[in-house]
Structure 1
Amino acid sequence: MSDKQYTEDIKPGLFEPAKMDLEATEKISKPSLSYWQDAWLVLRKNKAAVFSAFILILVTLLAAFAPLLSSKEYDAQNISHASLPPKVQALENISFLGFDGTKTDNGVTTDVYEQKGVDTYYWFGTDSLGRDLWTRVWMGTRVSLYIAFLAALIDMVIGVAYGGISGYYGGRVDNLMQRFIEILTGIPNLVIVILMILVLKPGILSITIAIALTGWISMSRVVRGQFLKYKNMEFVLASKTLGLEDRKIISKHLIPNVSGVIIINTMFSIPSAIFFEAFLSFIGLGLQEPNTSLGVLVEDGYKSMQIHPHILLFPAIVISIIMICFNLLADGFRDAFDPKMRD
C-alpha cells in the first residue's frame, strides 16, 4: 500500500476524544450499606443459619403453645395409662411411622391401647407414671429455653460491663479485676451448684445463681480483649481530646464496635447453658420431680431405654435439634459479623 493511500484511510474523526458521561462514570451503582445491613445480607445467604432460625422459632412456638393443645396436665398421673407408646389420630393407620400405639416384643406386635382399654390418644406416649409426654416435653423445652436465655442475658449484661470496665481503665483496676476472675475460674461450676443446693433447694433458682456466678467469665475476657484493642485507636483518642465522658465513650463508641463479638459469644452461650442444665438434671442436681425439663426427661427415659425407648426418644430429639440449630445459627452470626471469616 502506497503512502498516499494510507494517508487517505486515516480520517481526522478517528483522533477525536471519546465522549464520556462523567456523572454516569462517577455514579455508584449499588446502594451504600451500613455494617448491620451488610451483616444481614451475609447472614441471609447462609442457608443453614436461616433454616436453623426457622426451626428455633418453631420450637419456641411449640414450647409456648403446644401444651395448650392437650387437655392433660404435665404432672397429672394415671397409672392405668403407664408406658403407653405414641399414638396420633391421623397417623395410626401408617404402622411404619411408629404412631399407631403398638409395641413389638420378641417379634409379636401388640396394640397396647386396646390391651389396656385406653381410648385416649397420647401423641408422644406416656411415661412410667402415666403422665402425658407431649405436654411434659414441651413444658420441659419451655423451662430449658428459659434457663438458656436467662444465662445469655446474664452473660451479656455482667460479662460486657465487667470486661468493658476492666479493659477500658486498665492498670491497677484491670489487674485487680482479672485476679478476681482467676479466683472464680479456679472453682468448678459443679462445686458452686452443690453449694447452692446445700443453701437452697434443687431447682431453677439454684441453677440460675450458679450460672450468674460464673457463666459470664468467658464473655468478660473476650470483651476486655476487644476494649484493649480499640481504646487506643484514633476515634477514641479524638473523643477523649474533645472531653467526652468515659461512660459515653464506652456506650457510644466502644460497645457498638464490639457488638458483633458480643452477639456471637451470646449465641454460643445459649446451647452451653442448655447442656449445663440437662447435665445437672441428669445427675440429679437440677430440677426435681414433678417439675420437668429436657434434662429431667432424658434422665427419666434413660432408666427404661431398652423397654420403652419412646420415653427417651422425644426429649433427646428436641434437645439435639435445639443444640444443633443454635450452633449453626451462631456460626452464621460469626461469618456475618466477622469479615475475616467470610469467603
Structure 2
Amino acid sequence: MSNLTLDKAPTVDTPSAGAPLRQPRLPRWTPLGLAALSAALGTGVGLLAGLESRIQWGLIAALLFVALNFVLTKAVEGTRQAKDRLATSLVWVCFLLAVVPLLSLLWETVNRGVTVLDGSFLTHSMNGVITIQPGGGAYHALIGTLQQIGLATAIAAPIGLLTAIYLVEYGTGRLAKAITFFVDVMTGIPSIVAGLFVLAFWIIYLDMGYSGFAGAMSLAILMMPIVVRSTEEMLKLVPNELREASLALGIPKWRTILKVVLPTSIGGITTGVMLAVARIAGETAPIMLLVFGAASINNNPFNGAQSSLPYYVYEQWKLGNEASYDRAWAAALLLIAFIMVLNLLARGIAAWKAPKSGR
C-alpha cells in the first residue's frame, strides 16, 4: 500500500493577548474639538500678527483646522484615513467660506433694514417727502416691481415654454440647432445690452416713451432663455414610454404633449419659471434706462415713468444721507423677502405636483 502523505495545514497567526483587535479611532468629538482649538489659535495668531480683519483670523483658523486634522488622524488612524479626513475637511471649509459671506450679507440687511420697514413704509410713496428727513416709503416701487415682473412673465413664460416644446418634441435639423445656439447666446447676455436694445427700438425709434412696459420687455429678454433651458430639461426627463403609450392609443401628438407630457413635468417647469422670475427681480440697469424712476405712484405701466425696488435702492443710496440709507436698506430687505417668497412658492408647487406626476 502506497504511503499517503498529508500536507501540513497552513499556520494562522493568532494575535497575542495584548494586541488590539481593531485599528485605533479618534473620538467622534475630535472635529469639534479641533475646530474650537483652531479658532482659538487663529484668533491668537491674528492678534499677535496685528491683523485687524476677522476674515483673516478665520482663514488662518481654517488652515490650522485642516492641518491639525490631517496630522492627528495620520498619527492615530493611518495615512488612508488621514487622506479621507483631509478631503472631508476641505469640503467643510469651502462650504463655510461660501455660506459665511451670504449669512453676513443677510444679517447686515436685516439688521439695518428693520429700522424703518413697517406698515407706513409699505403704504406710502416718496411723493412730497424731503429726502434728507425720515419718512416716505416704497409703495410705488413695490407696485412697479410687481407690474413689471408680471408683464415680463406674461411675455417670456409662454414663448419660452412653446420654444422648449418645439426643441424637445419637434425640433430637428438646422432650425432647431439655430434656436439652441441663440438661446445659449441669450443666456449670457448682459442686462444692460437688453436694456439698450429696447431703448433703441421702443423709445428712440418708435418714440413710445419711458414706461414700466418698456422695462418689462427688457426683463422678458433676460428671462426667456432661462425658461427655455429649464423647461427643456424638465421635458427631457419625461419617459418616452409615456409618449409611446399615448400615441399607441391613437391620441394625436399635440394632445399627448398637452395631457401627458406637460402634466408630468409641470412641477419642474413651474420651478424653472419662478427661478427665472427671481433672477430678473433684482435687475437695475434695464430699469434705469427704460423705466426712469418716479417718486409718485403710477399704476399704469404702459404710460409714464415708474419706479421699482432695485431702482429705489439705487436712488436712495445715491442721495447720501442717513434717512435715505435707512430707506435703501429697508427696500433691499423687502426685495430679498420677495425673492425668498418666490423661491419657497416654487418649491411648494414642485412638491405638491410631484406625487400627482408620478401616478
TM-fit CA distance, 1:186:
5.6
TM-fit CA distance, 1:191:
0.9
- Count of aligned positions: 219
Counting only pairs closer than 5 Å after superposition, residues 112-131 of structure 1 correspond to structure 2 as 125=135
1:207 corresponds to: 215
Write out per-residue CA displacement over residues 155-199 of structure 1, whole angstroms, 9 at most, x where no aligned residue: 431111110111012422533431332343464332121121233
* Cα distance in 2 between the residues matched to 1:241 and 1:312: 60
Counting only pairs closer than 5 Å after superposition, residues 310-329 of structure 1 correspond to structure 2 as 310-329=326-345
Farther off after superposition, 167-176 or 264-273: 167-176
TM-fit CA distance, 1:325:
2.7
2:318 corresponds to: 303
2:44 corresponds to: none
- Aligned to 1:77, which of 128, 138, 160? 128
1:117 corresponds to: none
Counterpart residue identity of residue 346, structure 2: A
- Change over 3 Å in CA distance of 1:267–1:214 after alignment to 2: closer
Farther off after superposition, 298-307 or 263-272: 298-307
- Change over 3 Å in CA distance of 1:253–1:320 after alignment to 2: same
Give 3-state SS (helix, strand or coil) of 2:240's partner: coil
* 8 Å contact from structure 2 (residues 168, 232) kept in 1: yes
Give 3-state SS (helix, strand or coil) of 1:230's partner: coil
Unaligned runs of 5+ in 1: 1-61, 86-124, 126-132
- Aligned to 1:270, which of 267, 272, 277? 277
- Aligned to 2:250, which of 229, 243, 249? 243
2:3 corresponds to: none
* 8 Å contact from structure 2 (residues 144, 307) kept in 1: yes
Give 3-state SS (helix, strand or coil) of 2:235's partner: helix
* Cα distance in 1 between the residues matched to 2:131 and 2:168: 57
* Cα distance in 2 between the residues matched to 1:338 and 1:271: 22
Moved over 6 A (4+): none
Check if 1:190 corresponds to 2:206. no
* Cα distance in 2 between the residues matched to 1:212 and 1:312: 26
1:141 corresponds to: 142
Counterpart residue identity of residue 208, structure 1: A
* Cα distance in 2 between the residues matched to 1:239 and 1:335: 25
Counting only pairs closer than 5 Å after superposition, residues 157-236 of structure 1 correspond to structure 2 as 157-172=158-173, 174-185=176-187, 187-199=189-201, 200=203, 201-230=209-238, 232-233=240-241, 235-236=242-243
Write out per-residue CA displacement over residues 3-40 of structure 1, whole angstroms, 9 at most, x where no aligned residue: xxxxxxxxxxxxxxxxxxxxxxxxxxxxxxxxxxxxxx
- Change over 3 Å in CA distance of 1:76–1:319 after alignment to 2: same
* 8 Å contact from structure 2 (residues 218, 286) kept in 1: no
* 8 Å contact from structure 2 (residues 187, 222) kept in 1: yes
* Cα distance in 1 between the residues matched to 2:224 and 2:238: 21
* 8 Å contact from structure 1 (residues 287, 293) kept in 2: no
* 8 Å contact from structure 1 (residues 271, 326) kept in 2: yes
* Cα distance in 1 between the residues matched to 2:195 and 2:225: 16
Instruction: Using structure 2 for the length normalisation, give the TM-score.
Output: 0.53
* 8 Å contact from structure 1 (residues 168, 224) kept in 2: no
- Change over 3 Å in CA distance of 1:167–1:285 after alignment to 2: same
Instruction: Using structure 1 for the length normalisation, give the TM-score.
Output: 0.55
Q: CA RMSD in A?
A: 3.1
* Cα distance in 1 between the residues matched to 2:239 and 2:197: 39
2:309 corresponds to: 294
- Aligned to 1:252, which of 238, 244, 259? 259
* Cα distance in 1 between the residues matched to 2:320 and 2:340: 23
* 8 Å contact from structure 1 (residues 301, 312) kept in 2: yes
- Change over 3 Å in CA distance of 1:266–1:324 after alignment to 2: same
Give 3-state SS (helix, strand or coil) of 2:182's partner: helix
